[in-house]
Structure 1
Amino acid sequence: MIASTLTCRIDQQENCNEKMEAFMRRTYYLNGGYDNGEGMSKLRAQMEQVEGEFGANRIFYLSVPQEALLDVASSLADNAQSQKGWNRIITEKPFGSDLQSSQQLTRSLLLKFKENQLYRIDHLLGRNTIENLAVLRFSNLVFMPLWNRNYIRSVQVILSEDLGLKTPDGYLNNSGIIGDVVHSHIFQTIALLAMEPPVTLDGEDFEMKRSIRKLETSDVILGYCTPASGSKGAAKFGKTMPTYFATALYIDNARWDGCTRLSFGCASSLLISIQKVVNFTSEIHYTAHPSLLQLSMIVNFEYTRVEIRIQFRHVPGNLYLGHIGHNSDLTNNELILHDVPDEAILVRVNNKIPGLGIHLDASELNLFYKDKYTVEVPDSYEQLLHDVIDGDNHLFMRSDEVAAAWNILAPVLNAIDNNNLVPEQYEQGGRGPDKAVYLWAKHGVRWTDD
């Protein structure tokens, strides 16, 4: 099975077959029960034979159904850990289905492993764009003093994947977009955008998450996708599985809280819009006071795309306001991070068009990575697995972060369970439920894609 799907992604022309054969000689397959001591004892014996007298560190990647996770982890801890090196365990989403289940899962795992041994993986957090966001924030003086509610108006994040909604353990069919997208990489992205500067690269962002109020159900819109009219073979989803999520968030801290009066009106901290395409599109819009979040899944079979757009506020008392008119592209500067298909960093600025008179245009100062760097960009899983080997957990959710994220979502999950919050139908390929428009209007927000 492994040999039939193995490729040389990077070194296509450099002894690819020899490298794959060498890799396969280091690959072993063992058939045994994962939930009993006998199967794990066989695994331990196999590893000790391969390691020889020197021993080795061990990483256990648990790509197993959620209902089997604790049995597998417990059996590994009791029967297969290395006694001569460190042991680390990687688990996949979802990290529970609500606060109670996640805390129960965490307590059980911490009975067998220490916190610094646990790595909850989300492949989207391994994108180079996510790392670049932190680098741009904390290593460039031109951006650091501007990173607050007084200068940043909105952020739009677009995440696109060529994946379907159904996973091997079917968890997305149960928790919908909330458990798959909102709880993990969306809140982690918000953490990177809104956190205070950390002391080290292992900086804590839990304090920021505790500053986010619990969601109010009156500010939440859910939707479920139905096949487009006349479409053939379109995906069908249950009416109870949210494929669209929109809400208003509030962050209560000094950096993002409150409303500052500027010459162009009331500054409401931060606005983030995130769009994720999997074969389905997820759109998220988020601000900080209030923070608006929109997340949806609609069918989209186009290319994979990852992008973050940070939009700054209007210039107070802009001398050139009369030359801007109704051209919204000229009213705000933007910092744009492209990841896929072409990795780039762009800064949108206003400039004068050459010629007589004063006519403004919006231009992009650009850095295209493929033009400046010839190195191969690692896959997100490659980056994250490299971090696990190095013991770097800053792109992985800690136990307290998992609990904090579920706590924010608790009112929504309770309302769904009690049928007090029902997903609204929207057509596949559309922009989501109609009610979302009223939510944006309620908070005085106009989206850049309107």
Structure 2
Amino acid sequence: MNEKKVLFTIFGATGDLAQRKLYPSLFRLYRKGDLVESFAVIGTARRPWSDEVYRNIVKETIVGLNPTPEEAEAFSSHFYYQSHDVQDTEHYDTLKKLSDELDQKYQLEGNRLFYLAMSPNFFGTIVAHLKSQGMLNVTGYHRVIIEKPFGTDYETARQLNEEIATVFEEEDIYRIDHYLGKEMIQNISAIRFANSIFESLWSNRFIDNVQINIAEDLGVEERGGYYDKSGALKDMVQNHILQVLALLAMEPPVAFSEKEIRSEKIKALEAVRVYTPEEVAKNFIRGQYSAGKFDGEAIPGYKEELNVDSDSKTETFVAGKFVIDNFRWSGVPFYVRTGKRLTEKGTRINIVFKQVPVNVFKSSVGATCEQKLSPNVLTIYIQPTEGFSLSLNGKEVGPGFTMLPLSLDHRNSAEVISNTPEAYEKLMLDALNGDGTNFTHWDEVAQSWRVVDVIRQAWDQDSSDVPQYPARTMGPKEAYDLLAKDGFEWIWTPDEWYRERNLLD
């Protein structure tokens, strides 16, 4: 057992994120023995809750984990609530008093972890008060976990980072991207660096193209107001997709350590070409979902969603091609695709290998027609299923020599997936251990914004209509044309399966 001694202070403790993710994750750590007796949690927000109300809410959030009544009571007893206005200096004095009392009560040795689960507009104000009111003047470590979005463009991100960096050292700033906590995202490195068969082929000599897909079948739901000011480019490409791209494209680190992995990820992102406006027009397309029908159910279009401007040009879909200007990846397109109201929910990566130099089976004896070989594709499944597959070409059983695509497939079982630590649980434990490997460094954030800003600016200057795609399809025609002009096609086409079964128009 490796018990952690720490005081958590959660700003935004009454919010959806805290209740859906943070409290259940803390309970899992408690149940596994990472948190036992020497920890406490202060929840702060505007609501005038008492400790009792707060503890009852915490207990409600862990019902799905089936705690015993004794377990739930013991765990929630470590939670304390303070009604708090983040702009009121006096409230920080009260917060400091409570923090010092809990530090003594639970013997926490001054270790403090602050979780900012609220609007980034308040991040600078909060950290400035933590310093000015003496909340960091104790022995032990002081770390801050920050939720995305980290800025709305490079300039706002830079200003925000400067505000936080005046209080916390870079090594104590944990910018959370929950995608980096997913089991199969972390497995990318294992697949690459632990298997000679892949690492020896991991370059432009053998790889034709790389495809990164993050698809959501739901619409914007109740987040229409927020989403209409953000869009898919900022919501998904700037953080999740570019982080995955960095893991796929980075050079092998000297050692599998936080410092070396970060160094290689930063180099990979810095090698991603920053496009001109003309290059953006050629390499990136956007889309917006219109009304559609799936399995007989009518689905509203984006502009019909709650709190969305009826004239909105916000993109709910992005497809694009990144190019990496370095020796390993020169000439290999990295295609990305993400959006709302796509056919299926799923995150998967397709590594498409080059064809053999000569197809000796093109007109082989006994073949029924001229044969085209399917590409070898390594697919990494991130969610909802976890695992990977490798497609090969083999001979069809029987007379003649007809080629047949085969698949070597491994999927984690439902039991394994159900017992896999949730992303927030793993990332919170990493923060407790002082391991920033699966968090984003400022240099990564900065370069991601530089890459994305030019795309955003080009689209903002473009007065043409945003291409439409029917809800529950895989995006507008332009997304397919993007690959076709390079002689490629999307590997993942779930909409075809549904059309064959008359579930999709």
2:425 to 382, 389, 403: 382
Verify: 1:245 aligned to 2:318, yes or no: yes
Moved more, 396-405 or 429-438: 429-438
Moved more, 191-200 or 68-77: 68-77
* Correspondence for 1:4: 60
2:97 to 45, 55, 75: 45
Aligned length: 413
Taking structure 1 as reference, are residues 167 and 256 closer, same or farther at Cα in structure 2, changes over 3 Å only?
Answer: farther
Distance 1:430 1:374 in 2: 28
3-state DSSP class of the match of 2:445? Answer: helix
Asked whether the 8 Å contact 2:212–2:336 carries over to 1, the reply is: no
Aligned ranges 1:121-160 → 2 under 5 Å: 121-160=176-215
Taking structure 1 as reference, are residues 8 and 432 closer, same or farther at Cα in structure 2, changes over 3 Å only?
Answer: closer
Asked whether the 8 Å contact 1:65–1:168 carries over to 2, the reply is: no
Per-residue Cα deviation, 1:179-238 (whole angstroms, up to 9, x for no partner): 110000100100011111112332211121111111323222222223337936665344
* Correspondence for 2:120: 66
Q: Which runs of 5+ in 1 are unaligned?
A: 259-268, 270-286
Per-residue Cα deviation, 1:226-270 (whole angstroms, up to 9, x for no partner): 333793666534422111222332211000114xxxxxxxxxx2x
**1:169 Cα deviation (Å)?**
11
Verify: 1:113 aligned to 2:168, yes or no: yes
Taking structure 1 as reference, are residues 309 and 433 closer, same or farther at Cα in structure 2, changes over 3 Å only?
Answer: closer
Per-residue Cα deviation, 1:333-360 (whole angstroms, up to 9, x for no partner): 2222234344323222233344443333
Moved more, 194-203 or 338-347: 338-347
Aligned ranges 1:408-419 → 2 under 5 Å: 408-419=451-462
Asked whether the 8 Å contact 1:307–1:337 carries over to 2, the reply is: yes
Distance 2:218 2:430 in 1: 24
Taking structure 1 as reference, are residues 444 and 358 closer, same or farther at Cα in structure 2, changes over 3 Å only?
Answer: closer
3-state DSSP class of the match of 1:447? Answer: coil
Distance 2:92 2:222 in 1: 26
Verify: 1:447 aligned to 2:447, yes or no: no
**1:372 Cα deviation (Å)?**
9.9
Distance 1:401 1:181 in 2: 15
3-state DSSP class of the match of 2:209? Answer: strand
Aligned ranges 1:230-309 → 2 under 5 Å: 231=298, 235=302, 236=305, 237-238=308-309, 239-258=312-331, 269=332, 287=333, 291-298=334-341, 304-309=345-350
Distance 1:428 1:162 in 2: 9
1:35 to 82, 87, 97: 87
Distance 2:335 2:110 in 1: 48
Distance 1:327 1:23 in 2: 64
Taking structure 1 as reference, are residues 102 and 327 closer, same or farther at Cα in structure 2, changes over 3 Å only?
Answer: farther
Moved more, 27-36 or 364-373: 364-373
1:224 to 281, 284, 288: 288
What TM-score, normalized to structure 1? 0.82
**Identity over aligned pairs, percent:** 30
Q: Which has the larger radius of gyration?
A: 2
Taking structure 1 as reference, are residues 338 and 246 closer, same or farther at Cα in structure 2, changes over 3 Å only?
Answer: closer
* Correspondence for 2:36: none
Verify: 1:209 aligned to 2:265, yes or no: no
Distance 1:234 1:127 in 2: 31
1:86 is matched by which residue type in structure 2?
A: Y
3-state DSSP class of the match of 1:143? Answer: helix
Taking structure 1 as reference, are residues 370 and 442 closer, same or farther at Cα in structure 2, changes over 3 Å only?
Answer: closer
3-state DSSP class of the match of 1:363? Answer: strand
Q: Which runs of 5+ in 2 are unaligned?
A: 1-56, 497-505
2:242 is matched by which residue type in structure 1?
A: F
1:320 is matched by which residue type in structure 2?
A: F
Distance 2:156 2:482 in 1: 31
1:101 to 140, 147, 156: 156
Distance 2:246 2:330 in 1: 15
* Correspondence for 1:274: none
* Correspondence for 2:72: 20
Moved more, 182-191 or 215-224: 215-224
Asked whether the 8 Å contact 1:312–1:333 carries over to 2, the reply is: yes
2:421 is matched by which residue type in structure 1?
A: P
Verify: 1:351 aligned to 2:415, yes or no: no
Distance 2:417 2:490 in 1: 36
1:7 is matched by which residue type in structure 2?
A: V
Distance 1:439 1:359 in 2: 32
Asked whether the 8 Å contact 1:66–1:169 carries over to 2, the reply is: no
Taking structure 1 as reference, are residues 332 and 99 closer, same or farther at Cα in structure 2, changes over 3 Å only?
Answer: same
Distance 1:374 1:190 in 2: 24
Over aligned residues, Cα RMSD in angstroms? Answer: 2.9
What TM-score, normalized to structure 2? 0.74
Per-residue Cα deviation, 1:262-313 (whole angstroms, up to 9, x for no partner): xxxxxxx2xxxxxxxxxxxxxxxxx2xxx4333332255x6x5333332222
* Correspondence for 1:266: none
3-state DSSP class of the match of 2:487? Answer: coil
Moved more, 199-208 or 59-68: 199-208
Taking structure 1 as reference, are residues 397 and 371 closer, same or farther at Cα in structure 2, changes over 3 Å only?
Answer: closer
1:361 to 392, 399, 404: 404
